[in-house]
Amino acid sequence: MARYCVYCGAEESRDNPVVNNVCLKCRIKRNELVKLKETQLKFDFCKICGSVKIGYKWVSTNGFEEAINAIVEKYIPTIIVSGIGVENISITGYELKSMASWHTVINIKMKGVYGGKEFTIDKDIELYLNPVKCPRCIMFDSREFEAVIQIRGFSMKKIAKLIDRELRLDNRLARDLIEVIETGDGVNLYFFNHGAARKLARKLSSKLGAVIHESYEVAGTRSGKQRARLYISLKPR
C-alpha cells in the first residue's frame, strides 16, 4: 500500500521514504532529522598546558585545534538528538568556520538513516574556551593535593566507566577530585582530602575485587603541623 506525506502529498519512493506520514524531504525542510541539545558550548581551557575540561576530566591537548578535535570526538555525540524515524546518526567530520581560538564556530558533519535511506546533514556550533589554570598545573605548582588513588592491573575502559559512574552518583566525590591522570599501566586520581579518596577507593575496590594498600608520605607543614599525603593502591587480588 502506497504511503504519502501529510505535508507535501508526495508518494513514498526509494529516495524519499515516508516514516510516520512524513517524507524525508519534508523532515529536512522542517529541520526534524537531528537536533542539538546545545549550540553554544563553553569549556575550561588551561592557558598553561593546553588541557581542556570535558565532563569531569581534563584532556591533554597541544592547543586550540586539538582541544576542538577532542570536544567533537568526546562531547558532541552526547548532545545529538535523533528525530522521529532517524537511525544510526554519526559524526563524519567537521570544519572550522572561523580561526581556532578562544571563540570558534565549527560546522559538524553528520550522517544517518531515515526509512532505509541514508542522508547527510550539518549543524553549526559555537565553542567558547574559558582561559583558566587547570587543577593539574595548580597541583604541580603548589603540591597541595592530599591523597592519591593509584589503580593498576585493570582494564582502562572498565576503570574509566566505574569512575564516571561513581562521580555521577556522588557530587561530593566529584567536587573533591582534583585530577585524573592516566599512566602507562593504570590511572592516578588526585584528591583534596583523605576522606574522599578513601570513600572512592572502597567503592572501586568492591566493584573491581581489588586489594587496598595505604601508605603515607610527609608533605611539609601547614600551620605548624606536619602534613601527611595519603597514597592508596588498588591492585588485583
Q: What is the pLDDT of residue 218?
A: 80
Q: What is the pLDDT of residue 221?
A: 60
Exposed / middle / buried, residue 142 (Cβ in 10 Å: 0-12, 13-18, 19+): exposed
Q: How confident is the model at residue 55 (pLDDT cuts 50, 70, 90)?
A: confident
184-225, pLDDT tens digit by residue? Answer: 788 999 998 899 999 999 999 999 999 999 998 887 665 556
102-144, pLDDT tens digit by residue? Answer: 999 999 999 999 999 999 999 999 999 999 988 768 766 776 7
Percent of the residues in the chain that have a pLDDT greater than 90, as a whole number: 67
Q: What would the grid cell of residue 73 be? A: 570526538
Q: What is the pLDDT of residue 224?
A: 59
Percent of the residues in the chain that have a pLDDT greater than 70, as a whole number: 95
Q: What is the pLDDT of residue 140?
A: 65
Strand partners, 95: 107
pTM: 0.63
Helix H, strand E, coil C: the string for the chain is CCCECCCCCCECCCCCCEECCEEHHHHHHCCCCEEECCCEEEEEEECCCCCEEECCEEECCCCHHHHHHHHHHHCHHHHEEECCCEEEEEEEEEEECCCCCCEEEEEEEEEEEECCEEEEEEEEEEEEEEEECCHHHHHHHHCCCCEEEEEECCCHHHHHHHHHHHHHHCHHHHHHEEEEEEECCEEEEEECCHHHHHHHHHHHHHHHCEEEEEEEEEEEEECCEEEEEEEEEEEEC
Q: What is the pLDDT of residue 214?
A: 94
Q: What would the grid cell of residue 84 be? A: 522521529
Q: What would the grid cell of residue 173 be? A: 566525590
Return the higher-pLDDT residue of 226 and 18.
Answer: 18
Distant-in-sequence, close-in-space partners of 101: CB < 8 Å, separation ≥ 6: 64, 129
Q: What is the pLDDT of residue 179?
A: 84
Q: What is the pLDDT of residue 28?
A: 93
Q: What is the pLDDT of residue 220?
A: 66
Q: How far apart are CA 52 and CA 70, in angstroms?
A: 8
**Going by DSSP bridges, is the β-strand pair 225-236/210-222 parallel, antiparallel, or unpaired?**
antiparallel
Q: Does pLDDT of 8 surpass 60?
A: yes
Q: How far apart are CA 129 and CA 136, in angstroms?
A: 17
Q: What is the mean pLDDT of residues 15-28?
A: 94
Lowest mean pLDDT among 36-40, 145-149, 215-219: 215-219
Q: Does pLDDT of 29 surpass 80?
A: yes
Q: What is the mean pLDDT of residues 40-55?
A: 93
Q: How crowded is residue 216: how many other Cβ atoms within 10 Å of its Cβ?
A: 12
Give helix 156-169 / helix 194-208 axis angle, nearest 10°: 130
Q: What is the pLDDT of residue 109?
A: 97
Q: How confident is the model at residue 226 (pLDDT cuts 50, 70, 90)?
A: low
